[in-house]
Amino acid sequence: MARRFLLATRSEGKLRELREIFSEFGLEAVDLTTLGIPETARENNLEEFETFEENALAKARYFFDLSGGMPTFGDDSGMCVDALNGEPGVYSSSDKSSTRRTTRSCLLACGRQERSRGHASPMPDVTSRSLRSRMPSAK
């Protein structure tokens, strides 16, 4: 029996990508809907921190608690443009129309400068052991 992990995202694209990665390691990736975790307004405020890692941890902790303690992987990602000193970074939105506007603005701001960008996406896991040993309690 494969070990099960909850993926703390509602993004179908991320779910597809992460399930493929997890399956390569013989792990089962379960989504929030499958577990019957309803979407709430609180989820919209989980990404309130200054780093991708902090936002990913906030999501992992939140859904770990809602799942009753199922090992949980959180994710946050965004566009980091070297020519803009890493901006918009954590402030880039997952909303597609906003992402298009952000991308267009970044490219316009870069002008003829070298267009180098990165995609940052930490994915911490949360288990009862890791919660006790390295994380502050969830809000």
Which residues are marked as active site? 76
CA distance 134 to 36: 28
Residue type for position 15? L
CA distance 26 to 4: 10
- φ and ψ at residue 74, rounded to 5 degrees: -105, 155
What is the signed CA dihedral for 44, 49, 50, 52, rounded to 10 degrees? -70
Q: What angle do CA 55, 74, 43 make, to 5 degrees?
A: 60
